[in-house]
Amino acid sequence: MKAFPHRHLLGIEPLEASDIQTILDTADGLKEVLDRPIKKVPALRGKTVVNLFYEASTRTRSSFEIAQKVLSADSLSIATATSSVTKGETLLDTAKNLEAMNPDMIVIRHQASGAPHFLARHCRSAIVNAGDGAHEHPTQALLDALTLRQKKGRLKGLRVAIVGDLLHSRVARSNLWLLAKMGAQVVLCAPPTLVPAGIEALAPVTYSIDEAVEGADAIMMLRIQLERMGGGFFPSLREYHKRFGLTLERVRRAKKDVVILHPGPMNRGVEIASEVADGPDSEILDQVTNGVAVRMAVLYLLLGGGRE
Amino acid sequence: MKAFPHRHLLGIEPLEASDIQTILDTADGLKEVLDRPIKKVPALRGKTVVNLFYEASTRTRSSFEIAQKVLSADSLSIATATSSVTKGETLLDTAKNLEAMNPDMIVIRHQASGAPHFLARHCRSAIVNAGDGAHEHPTQALLDALTLRQKKGRLKGLRVAIVGDLLHSRVARSNLWLLAKMGAQVVLCAPPTLVPAGIEALAPVTYSIDEAVEGADAIMMLRIQLERMGGGFFPSLREYHKRFGLTLERVRRAKKDVVILHPGPMNRGVEIASEVADGPDSEILDQVTNGVAVRMAVLYLLLGGGRE
Amino acid sequence: MKAFPHRHLLGIEPLEASDIQTILDTADGLKEVLDRPIKKVPALRGKTVVNLFYEASTRTRSSFEIAQKVLSADSLSIATATSSVTKGETLLDTAKNLEAMNPDMIVIRHQASGAPHFLARHCRSAIVNAGDGAHEHPTQALLDALTLRQKKGRLKGLRVAIVGDLLHSRVARSNLWLLAKMGAQVVLCAPPTLVPAGIEALAPVTYSIDEAVEGADAIMMLRIQLERMGGGFFPSLREYHKRFGLTLERVRRAKKDVVILHPGPMNRGVEIASEVADGPDSEILDQVTNGVAVRMAVLYLLLGGGRE
């Protein structure tokens, strides 16, 4: 395996297609460890990872923690609810202090776009972006890509519809970069109030989900982040479902073997109908398993597990 | 050791007397590990356990976590305070997602009766009930039984008084099942407002604690759950203590070598007098140690430690 | 290495100079483990440590947890936010219950002075004080001393200024004891409202920071605990900075190779100017690294790692 040429994983944007390929290949290779009766390899024994979460997240944090345990790394998780952040310390001071405890990696989720890049400029530890504001969520895009590639055998040339709240979604942004780099063809779909300005420069945008999913190889549904929806971006959840929800009827417009993805947690009956979420085309739970595999790959590549 | 015939531990009710015997025997065998200078055996190395707690609980969660560490299992603890539960995900979706990360076991505490059974129907992982609503708390009943058996040499034929808030107590319910299956003779005692309808079909009920403890081999005190006592179930704590509190005088009505149990945390001066809690008949701290041993046994039996 | 003659670390006050020396020497020896590619030694394998934190603290808790992982101890962290403390249990009952799970050590932070001493009288486990009220914070004083000794080669005869909120600071108190025992010469400085009664018996007090830092070998800045400053101890933060903040100009009054310490988290622009915090004399991040080393030493000495 060739060495990975990056010290950090800050986003998909700075990666080459070959880097993405390396991560996905490594994830494919490591995934079988998760099926063993003894799910543990000593690859990262004695390495320390700090998971620094400024936003609550069961699934991303759990996925990273499990990846760390499977690879035998030591990990320390800090959630802001119980941290000195409440004592008014700056992000940089918190990071510098953590770093002074000599961790090999800091995995950070932060509400501000660019927070991981800021740490990468000022810290010696490897930095992994676990979601920064509305900017990027690279491991999510990587696990989506891994799932797609496993089902379709390739990413190049696939027609992928990304549907939902494009405005607040770091998942959409990372997936857009990744799919473009890997040669897939993306169509975006959202209500006009949830389309960020200028995004049509990156991929075509439609306000019709029927149009977006027409002939699609894959449909990536985005979560309606109810907790950020104070602003009246659409009239009601029922209305949203009617206009933009993924129903069985709409799935039928896509290719026959369409792959349906959702980053979770799902709002059933809002952005996705339960029949679709639990249906035969849904790979939503495979995404979760692949999430652990992709995070194992990122840990392994950045912490030099391959060099020993 | 013969194989344990269950995949889950959902409650005491579905167990045979022989299953209970197997768990207690295994706990007795594993308990000595806790007295070693190096409290660690590799029995469950590479097994992953998720502790999913929808209700706060220091002692049960700590006890499970210590049992997991002693047996070298990897564990991940999720408390709802920092989880996606707040994002409106259903219990099933949360569980399915956790399961997709391939844990071998999910230990769940939930405010709804039947939540563990629901998971067992829908997940492949082994499910352990760490307390579901007012329904069951099987590991508590098992540790109570282990403590009783260690002190008395048997369970069969013992006369056991269970005193306190029978209405809200999953501990009482699990103990009732267990003691009945093992041939002990139970007397229940509570204020009339805290007796659930129909329970007299399972064991005799008295409103007099003096009557209940008369000649008892063991007295199991239940916690007054002050946080659920909005409804005016009794006039005052002082009144409760006077009528239903376990005092030294009342202990004297029991057999000479009576064993006194309490699941903790205790309300001293309410359901139990401090002189009793700290007195020579109290096995309350032994219960805690036995709690770790019983949870080690459950982990070991369900995760197939014995088969390797 | 000679055996450490204490079972607990309750404070600096009960230690002899030779005990402090032993801890610092051990910390110096263990520190190199933190620079290894594989930061893990099996010294405390199979030992269990409970971290019982009644006050939130990222840095102290993280530092203890990392020290535990590096030495291969199993650890369990309990923060009151998710613990039965909310169910009204006494500290003693909580501790007794934890102890019944057979941990080898309890590390406790508590808002009440003397809480660790209380546990030490009633529990068999080794007790480490991780900060009790405004009383002591011994591992902080030890890491300060380790940092000073590394830079200056000695503690004896050093002139050390301790500046800031002396009234609420357990750090100041522990450092006062330690520096006095090791033969350093301390000058205290604070606004009159933040000087505890009678402290001038232990070291000279001045209200002028310029006077305090004059010719100092080291300056220990104390954190203004904004969250406790409801009482109007000084007119404003700006006023505090002007009168008692450590600025570059004031640093120039100290010796040329002065060492500047701060326990963190810092209030930049209040008790310390950013140019000083990030300047060449600041050893603030070294303190953090030394914090892990000192806690490794304490764990190692108290848990008898040396005897195997």
pLDDT digits (tens, 9 = 90+) for A23-48: 999 999 999 999 999 999 999 999 99
Q: To the nearest whole angstrom, how far is the Cα of B34 from the nearest Cα of chain C?
A: 7
Q: Is the pLDDT of residue A275 over 90?
A: yes
B63: which strand partners? none
CB contact under 8 A, C102 and B34: yes
Q: Contact C268/A94, CB-based, under 8 Å?
A: no
What is B212-281 written as a DSSP string? HHTT-SEEEEPP--GGGGGG-SSS-HHHHHHHH-B-HHHHTTS-TT-EEE--S---BTTTB-HHHHTSTT
pLDDT confidence bin for C83, thresholds 50/70/90: low
- Tell me the angle at which helices C138-152 and C170-181 cross, rounded to the nearest 10 degrees: 50
Residue with the larger pLDDT of the pair A61 and A231: A61
Q: How many CB atoms lie within 10 A of CB C281?
A: 19
Cα distance from N-terminal residue to C-terminal residue, chain B: 12
What mean pLDDT is predicted for residues B147-156?
98
Strand partners, C109: C53
pLDDT higher than threshold 50 for residue A239: yes
Confidence of residue A231 (pLDDT cuts 50, 70, 90): low
Q: How far is A84 from chain C (nearest CA, A)?
A: 5
A296 in Cβ contact with A146 (< 8 Å): no
DSSP string, B11-44: -STT--HHHHHHHHHHHHHHHGGGGSSS----TT
The partner residue sitting opposite B101, judged by closest CB among A37, A63, A265, is A63
Write down the pLDDT at residue A308. Answer: 38
- For the stretch B90-145, pLDDT in tens is 888 888 898 899 999 999 999 999 999 999 999 999 999 999 999 999 999 999 99
List the single residue in A with minimal CA-CA distance to C62.
Answer: A76
**Residues in chain B closer than 8 A to C93 (CB atoms):** 264-266, 268
Considering CB atoms only, which of C36, C58, C265 is closest to A78?
C58
The interface pTM score, or ipTM, of the predicted complex is: 0.89
Looking at residue B304, its pLDDT comes to 82
The average pLDDT across A197-207 equals 94
- Subunits close to C (at least 3 CB pairs below 8 A): A, B
Question: Which residues does chain B have within 8 Å of residue C106's beta carbon, measured at their own beta carbons?
Answer: none
- Please give the pLDDT value at position B307: 45
Q: Which residues of A touch B98 (CB under 8 A)?
A: 62
Residue A221 DSSP SS3: strand
> Does residue C307 carry a pLDDT above 50?
no
At residue C308, the pLDDT reads 38
Q: What's the distance, Cα to Cα, between the start and end of chain A in Å?
A: 12
Contact list, B78 vs chain A (CB under 8 Å): 58, 62
Which residues of C are less than 8 Å from A83 in CB distance? 56, 58
Nearest CA in chain A to C285: A100
Strand-strand pairing, A159-163 and A218-221 = parallel
What mean pLDDT comes out for the span C244-259? 97
- By a Cβ cutoff of 8 Å, what residues of chain A touch chain C? 45-48, 50, 74, 76, 78, 81-90, 93-94, 96-103
Asked whether the beta carbons of residue A93 and residue C59 sit closer than 8 angstroms, the reply is no
User: Which residues on B lie below 8 Å from A79 (Cβ)?
Assistant: 82
Sign of CA dihedral A35, A40, A43, A47: positive
Residue of B138, B112, B131, B180 whose CA lies nearest to B24: B138
Computed from CA positions of residues A7, A13, A19, A25, in that sequence, does the dihedral angle turn out positive or negative?
positive
Alpha-helix residue ranges (DSSP H) falling in A182-283:
209-213, 237-244, 248-251, 274-277
Closest partner CB to C66 (pick from A76, A89, A93): A76
Average per-residue pLDDT for chain A: 92
Q: Measure CB to CB from residue C89 to each of B69, B265, B285 and give the nearest one.
A: B265
Dig out the tokens for A200 from the structure: 């049509």
Give the B-side interface with A, CB within 8 Å.
45-48, 50, 74, 76, 78, 81-90, 93-94, 96-103
Closest CA to C263 of C147, C183, C102, C117: C147
B57: left (phi over 0), alpha (psi -120 to 50) or beta: beta
B252 pLDDT more than 90: yes
Strand blocks (E) in A96-230:
105-110, 126-132, 159-163, 185-189, 205-206, 218-221
Contacts of C126 in chain B (CB under 8 A): none
Q: Which residues of B touch C (CB under 8 A)?
A: 34-40, 56-59, 62-63, 65-66, 69-70, 79, 81, 226-227, 264-268, 285-289, 291-292
Q: Give yes or no for residue C39 having a pLDDT over 50.
A: yes
How does pLDDT run across C186-226, given as a tens digit for each residue? 999 999 999 999 999 999 999 999 999 999 999 999 999 77
Provide the pairing of β-strand B159-163 with C218-221.
unpaired
- C-alpha angle C111/B263/B57, rounded to 5°? 50
**Secondary structure of A78-95 in HEC code, one letter for each residue:** EEHHHCHHHHCCCHHHHH
A230 has a pLDDT exceeding 90: no
Alpha-carbon Rg of chain A, whole angstroms? 19
Q: Is B225 exposed, middle or buried, given 0-12, 13-18 or 19+ CB atoms closer than 10 A?
A: middle
Residue that the structure tokens 């799910």 belong to: A39
**Nearest residue of chain A to residue B308 (CA atoms):** A37
pTM: 0.93
Inspect the interface and report whether the beta carbons of B46 and A38 lie closer than 8 Å: yes
Selected for mutation to probe chain C from A51, A74, A92, A96 (highest C CB count within 10 Å) is A74
pLDDT for residue A228: 67
pLDDT at B283: 97
Percent of chain A at pLDDT exceeding 90: 82
Which band of pLDDT confidence, cut at 50, 70 and 90, is reported for residue B172? very high
Please compute the mean of the pLDDT values over residues B62-72 and round it to a whole number: 96
The DSSP annotation for C106-158 comes to EEEEESSTTHHHHHHHH-SSEEEEEEETTTB-HHHHHHHHHHHHHHHS--TT-
Residue A145 has a pLDDT of 98
In the numeric block, which tokens belong to residue B119?
């998971």
Chain B partners within 8 Å of A287 (Cβ): 100
The count of CB pairs under 8 A between chains B and C is 82
Residue of B58, B225, B229, B276 to mutate, testing the C interface (most C Cβ within 10 Å of its Cβ): B58
Q: Looking up tokens 């590394």, which residue turns up?
A: C150
Which of C47, C76, C82 lies nearest to residue B65, judging by beta carbons?
C76
Task: Please answer yes or no on whether A264 and B93 come within 8 Å at the CB atom.
Answer: yes
Which residues are paired to C205 by β-bridges? C188
Identify all chain A residues contacting C267, using CB atoms and an 8 Å cutoff.
88
